[in-house]
Structure 1
Amino acid sequence: MDHAHHDINSVPAAPMHGDHGDHGDCDSPCADMGHSHAMVFHANVCQEILFNGWLTTTALQLFGSCVAIFVAGVLYEALKYYREALHVRATSATGDSTVNIAKNECGSNGNCTGPSVVKYSMWSGGHVVQTAMHVVQATASYVLMLVFMTYNVWLCLALVLGLGLGYFIFGWRKNTVIDANEHCQ
């Protein structure tokens, strides 16, 4: 049986991603940018970030994106702190920054009945707010993880520095070092 007519070199290559139409001006620095996303760190200016419309083609655009991601990192740390502060306020008997699950109940005449346990109910306003904020925090966490997974050194550096500054600003006020609600660590 002759298999010569099945020579792999004679078969025209099919397009990998189909016809995407015009990618813009051929003089663009990103005109030859492929759609492959190699999983290696790189410092390319041409970078697609999270969405088809968020494409950097100049160093200034990449810098602006880095600033936006830096601010997002700071705001993420602020959200984590704010959630904890709301929880502390809801469960604290004294209103200070310590969590008191048990507190003394004292009546208007000064008679204390002893410790009681502060409980959230499933339908309490505080729990509903905490749930909504948890959803926002989880979403933000995964979106920031996807930014890091672009493997662009500049975007990764901006994110790490933003998270670092956010922790510096808000982390010293936290009551615990271990965050059980952290999604990316």
Structure 2
Amino acid sequence: MEHDHSGHMHHAMASEAAPAHHHHEDGDGCSSMHAMVFHAGVCQEILFSGWMTTTALELFGSAVAIFLAGILYEGLKYYREALHARATSLRGDSQVNITKNECGANGACGGPALVKYSMMSCSHFVQTLLHVVQSTASYLLMLVFMTYNVWLCVALILGLAVGYFCFGWRKNSVVDVTEHCQ
């Protein structure tokens, strides 16, 4: 008695040839497929395994949080530029003018003092720390967009737009050289 295994072999080969989608179902009845297509589903894992939406209200709350994160991200970019502009203005090769009022509140001023700006200065450490925060936020927001959830993507875009509207008009430059995900 011989068995024909060609049907089983064909099924195994067909499943190997199909595109690999990671598919799992959790306890809430949410089925998540990590395919790279836009979708408007409610069930969504966002950034971390503990941040999972299973209801429309949870998704809405997450969208509001992402909207606010977009506004704060634009504010952080403006704040870094404003700190740098307030503390320094580049001149020549590595010299920086730092405006200091050396005469006090009542006396006559002699003008701004020329100070060397060093790599080990407090201002540079603050800018480096803020750069790390901005870089991390930029990549996290990019990963939120890569969930391909239409509602989260729209919330992020609107948050960035509102943030730019609130802070962008005060910027000294339209080109943002500190942007990481352009």
Name the TM tier (shorter chain): 0.7 to 0.9
What SS does the aligned partner of 1:176 have?
A: coil
- Number of equivalenced pairs: 166
**2:125 maps to which of 120, 123, 128:** 128
1:74·1:167 contact (CA, 8 Å) conserved in 2?
yes
Please give the per-residue CA displacement for 1:33-86, whole angstroms capped at 9, x wherever unaligned: 14x311111111111111111111110000000000000000001100111111
Gaps of 5+ in 1: 94-100
TM-score, normalised via structure 1 length: 0.75
Aligned to 2:26: 23
Find runs of 4+ consecutive structure 1 residues off by over 3 angstroms.
Answer: 4-7, 9-14, 101-112, 114-119
Letter in 2 for 1:8: M
Aligned to 2:37: 40
Residue 89 of structure 1: how far off its partner (Å)? 1.1
Distance, in Å, in 2 between the alignment partners of 1:121 and 1:54 is 42
Letter in 2 for 1:159: L
**2:179 maps to which of 162, 177, 182:** 182
Gaps of 5+ in 2: 91-95
Aligned to 2:67: 70
RMSD across aligned positions (CA): 3.4
TM-score, normalised via structure 2 length: 0.76
1:91·1:118 contact (CA, 8 Å) conserved in 2?
no
